[in-house]
Amino acid sequence: MDISSVEYHSARRARITSMIDRAGRGLEIGPSHNPAAPKSAGYNVETVDHTDRAGLLEKYRSDVGINLDNIEDVDHVWTGGSLCELVGASASYDWIIASHVIEHMPDLVYFVTECQALLKPDGVLSLVVPDKRYCFDHLRRCSSSGDVIQAHLERRTRHTPGQVFDHFVGACKLDEAGSWHRDTAGRIGRVYTPEFAQAMHEASRISRDYLDIHAWVFTPSSFRLVVHDLNALGYARVDEIAFTDTRDCEFFIAYANRTSGQSQDRLQLAKQALHEQRQAYFP
């Protein structure tokens, strides 16, 4: 790993952990091969992932550029269901980190409320979310508050066939890259054929197996708008305490496990979200 890469990962980690108490007890969800708060760096942290360390090593063994030494022991293997039941604790953590996790959740509201239940009253939830403008979600529309609420009311535990179709038919690349920087030049192309997207849609209608996709698609302001509405309607109770606008293909946002009753201007958020969605950079 060259110096520039070391500096990049160091700066990224600093953004993710800026609001957490390093001495506190933490939980990192989905650290995979790139933990933001590694045990090896002295963090008092437990981890949740979809498989154990041996499974992660096997998954990434053939991927060029991934340092397998970064993969640490997994404390809790999560195959769906309640995080609180999996971990066996509540109101126990000072902080939770979830990087590139929330967009995969069938029920985003349930995920947030489960994290809140795991956190102490003054705990912090630190999220890293992909910006659809700079990744393979570029061609998809942003998810709305209504979309997210409907999934919660339906108590979804798997993604709908419609979401599966949207994911595959809308997946794109910039030249051959699945994510890119704001100032990257190139040409947008399809990742999958429409026929493949149709086949995945039909398969999801028949099978009850969980299929991992990006169910939710956001720009920074569209995400903040959804959280604003969830707070206003009583589905969540979190206060935004830190926000870092998009770096590379992701933005960073941290929430306190409380609500003060103060909120951002919804109209301004909606206008900014619309402006972000209208931005088009590539032919």
136 by DSSP, 3-state: which? coil
**pLDDT at res. 256:** 97
Pairing of strands 45-49, 26-29: parallel
Q: Does the pLDDT of residue 281 top 70, yes or no?
A: no
Average pLDDT over the chain, rounded to an integer: 93
CA atoms of 196 and 138, how far apart (whole Å)? 19
The CA-to-CA distance between both ends of the chain, in Å, stands at 33
Q: What angle do CA 51, 54, 60 make, to 5 degrees?
A: 85
What is the mean pLDDT of the segment spanning 140-151?
A: 98
Determine contact, residues 211/159, Cβ cutoff 8 Å.
yes
Q: Identify the pLDDT of residue 73.
A: 96
Q: What is the pLDDT of residue 4?
A: 60
User: Looking at the predicted structure, is the pLDDT value of residue 2 above 80?
Assistant: no
Residue 263 has pLDDT above 80, yes or no: no
Structure tokens at 82: 């309640």
Task: Give pLDDT tens digits for 220-232.
Answer: 999 999 999 999 9
Q: Is the pLDDT of residue 48 over 50?
A: yes
Alpha helices in 64-120 (DSSP H): 83-87, 108-118
Handedness of CA 27, 29, 32, 36 (dihedral sign): negative
The string of pLDDT tens digits covering residues 90-136 is: 899 999 999 999 999 999 999 999 999 999 999 999 999 999 999 99
Residue 154, strand partner residues? none
Structure tokens, 18: 């800026």
249 pLDDT more than 50:
yes
202-209, long-range: CB < 8 A, 24+ apart: 202/161, 204/159, 204/160, 204/161, 204/164, 205/161, 208/158, 209/158
Give the separation between CA 251 and CA 129, rounded to whole angstroms.
5
pLDDT over 80 at 6, yes or no: no
* Domains of the chain as residue ranges with CATH: 3-278 (3.40.50.150)
Find, among 145, 82, 76, 150, the residue nearest to 117 by Cα.
82
Q: What is the mean pLDDT of residues 255-280?
A: 88
Instruction: Tell the residue number behind the tokens 């201007």, with chain if given.
Output: 265
Query: What's the whole-model pTM score?
Result: 0.94
Helix (H, G, I), strand (E, B) or coil at 245: strand
